[in-house]
Structure 1
Amino acid sequence: MRHPILPAALLSVAFLLAGCSAGNLLSPYRIDVRQGNDVTPEMVAQLKPGMTPDQVRFVLGTPLVVDPFHRDRWDYFYRFQPGRGEATQKRLTVLFRDGRLAEYRGDVEPAPADRIEPPTRVIEIERAPAAEGS
């Protein structure tokens, strides 16, 4: 007499082993994770010695780290972790002396002058006066 459980058990084991061998064919979606301030070479090229902290903040954005013990030092960090692949990191340190930009250093080099776009011109158009009786 044959045991009907034996073929069912063998079939179950075969399916389990086949499921384990799928490997990387089926893997969950992973999002790209960006953290910090993405400081570009074009942004660094706009930094000039003697700029005020407000001007630097306008160009680079709010720093990720402001050390309460060294208020004249701002640190900009950026980390990009793609869903698949290696993470990349960038760091830029901005130093002030007497309330003015003294120097900056880090992984981000300024862009060449020919890669920097000129500032956008803004033309203000005066509004015509409202017609009487409206």
Structure 2
Amino acid sequence: MHEIPRLSLRLYCLALVCISVLGCSNLGSATDRLATAATPYKMDVIQGNVVTKEQVAYLKPGMPRATVRDVLGSALLTSVFHADRWDYVFTLKRLGAEAQSRKVTVFFVNDLLDRIEADDLPSESEFVTTLRSGLSVKPEKLPALDASEESLSKFPAPAKRPAAELPVPAAPVRYPPLEPSR
């Protein structure tokens, strides 16, 4: 076999090291691009109750607590020390964007809505738009859902069945009582 002399092997290694060091000086932007491409996926973190302008506009002073709960949902924060106050807090954290935070506080007097203190709230369409803005793939434009009389005439009208052919509902199932009668 052919042996490589030690001197030429040393020169070969030295040349390889020099080329590597010279190549590293131009790798700054390439390594930055590689590092950003290799970052792990971080999902959006949505916490709390989303409260919109439309929901707050629906609330009127004098509404009972149950109605407020139906409109806004259960409060994120309720306090034993502030029984007449409900706090609705919402945060949205996503990669590459500043965290959003909104707060709505509802005050009650004698179990009736007294007043509302709220940050600047988005409308429902504005909120949905902020969720979609993070998508890397934009959804395609949806086709218009219009049906003209001409296009509907291509389909036959459903045949009406006589009442005798309609299925008869089954008799309800009667289960035994859970507890013995006394």
Q: TM-score, normalised by structure 1?
A: 0.70
Contact 2:88–2:103 under 8 Å retained in 1: yes
CA distance in 2, matches of 1:51, 1:42: 16
1:9 aligns with 2:21: no
How far residue 90 of structure 1 moved from its aligned partner, in angstroms, is 0.9
**Alignment match, 1:130:** 169
In 2: Cα distance, 1:56 partner to 1:24 partner: 50
Of 54, 58, 74, the match for 1:42: 54
Q: Percent identity?
A: 38
1:77 aligns with 2:69: no
Matched, 1:92 2:104: yes
Q: What does residue 120 of structure 1 align with?
A: none
Secondary structure at 1:74 match in 2: strand
Relative to its length, the structure with more helix (as a share) is 2
Unaligned runs of 5+ in 1: 112-127
Task: For residue 5 of structure 1, report the CA deviation from its aligned partner.
Answer: 1.6
Q: How large is the RMSD of aligned CA atoms in angstroms? A: 2.8
TM-score normalized with structure 2 length: 0.54
Q: Is the 8 A contact 1:44 1:110 kept in 2?
A: no
Given the alignment of the two structures, is residue 32 of structure 1 paired with residue 40 of structure 2, yes or no? no
- Whether the 8 Å contact between 2:102 and 2:121 is mirrored in structure 1 is no
Unmatched 5+ stretches in structure 2: 1-6, 124-166, 172-182
**Contact 1:40 1:108 survives alignment (8 Å):** no
The separation in 2 between residues aligned to 1:102 and 1:44, in whole angstroms, is 13
For residues 23-75 of structure 1, the C-alpha deviation after alignment (integer angstroms, 9 at most, x for no partner) is: 25634243222111110111111111122222111111111111121011111
TM-superposed CA distance for 1:103, in Å, is: 0.6
Q: Aligned residue pairs: how many?
A: 116
Q: Which has the higher strand share?
A: 1
Which one has the largest radius of gyration? Answer: 2
Quick one: structure 1 residues 17 and 51, their matched pair in 2 at CA, closer, same or farther if it must change by over 3 Å? farther
